[in-house]
Amino acid sequence: MIIKKNDRQIELMREAGKIVADTHEVLRKAIAPGISTEELDKIAENNIRKYNAEPSFKGYNGFPASICTSINEEVVHGIPGKRILQEGDIISIDIGAYYKGYHGDAAKTHAVTVISEEDRKLIEVTKESFYEGLKFAKVGYRLSDISHAIQVHIQNNNFSVVRAYAGHGVGKRLHESPEILNYGPPGKGPRLKKGMVLAIEPMVNVGTCHVFTLSNGWTAVTADKKKSAHYEHTIAITEDEPLILTEL
């Protein structure tokens, strides 16, 4: 069942979303060669808690950290630790915040100083694919219209769509219905209605779409060890244009 939110609930989710957005901005400024992912996690947790919010991911199904830090070939669910960022890396950071009973959830991929042209294009196309999908996040379209638009943009740019993971509804729980694939034919699934709140999150690989999970039980990496990028916002379906809840 897809749980629709009323205007007041969406306002509360916007507050949670702003905490996520602010934390992303704080981390963007902190990313540099020589910093560890463990340090980034501490910075993020401190920033979330200063708003009297809680990191959504910490302890979620046993996840041991406050954010996900996925570097280079790591697709999603990278666990912060002693690893040091190097010039030329790309890092995907996924952040969730729980505030006044609701979650916000967003992810971005960042360059660590100078990166290759291919990596720059990967990050750019991943972000663009989110906005291509967002064009269809309106009342009357079907859920897979979002999915199809994302897939077309990614594949038109000669990258591959990760199929093992998907977006999701968001609300009082971090993951709610519906599942939002990043691929598929248009015109399928439920019609979008005002009050639906969705985390749309394309994950894009340079090479194969196939991934596998490391022995830590969390971190997904590309099967060919080529790089991957991730871009996500929590959005609300309105009577007009979709509202991005996880931006400042």
Strands 54-55 and 67-71: unpaired
Strands 90-99 and 54-55: antiparallel
* Longest Cα–Cα distance in the chain: 48
What length is written for the chain? Answer: 248
Q: Tell me the C-alpha distance between 144 and 104, whole Å.
A: 22
Res 29: pLDDT: 98
From start to end of the chain, where are the E strands?
A: 54-55, 67-71, 74-76, 90-99, 102-111, 160-161, 167-169, 176-180, 197-200, 203-205, 211-213, 220-222, 228-230, 233-236, 243-244
Res 185: pLDDT: 98
What is the DSSP-derived secondary structure letter of residue 188? -
Res 150: pLDDT: 99
The answer to whether the CB of 225 falls within 8 A of the CB of 73 is: yes
Res 136: pLDDT: 98
The tens-digit pLDDT sequence of the chain (248 residues) is 999 999 999 999 999 999 999 999 999 999 999 999 999 999 999 999 999 999 999 999 999 999 999 999 999 999 999 999 999 999 999 999 999 999 999 999 999 999 999 999 999 999 999 999 999 999 999 999 999 999 999 999 999 999 999 999 999 999 999 999 999 999 999 999 999 999 999 999 999 999 999 999 999 999 999 999 999 999 999 999 999 999 99
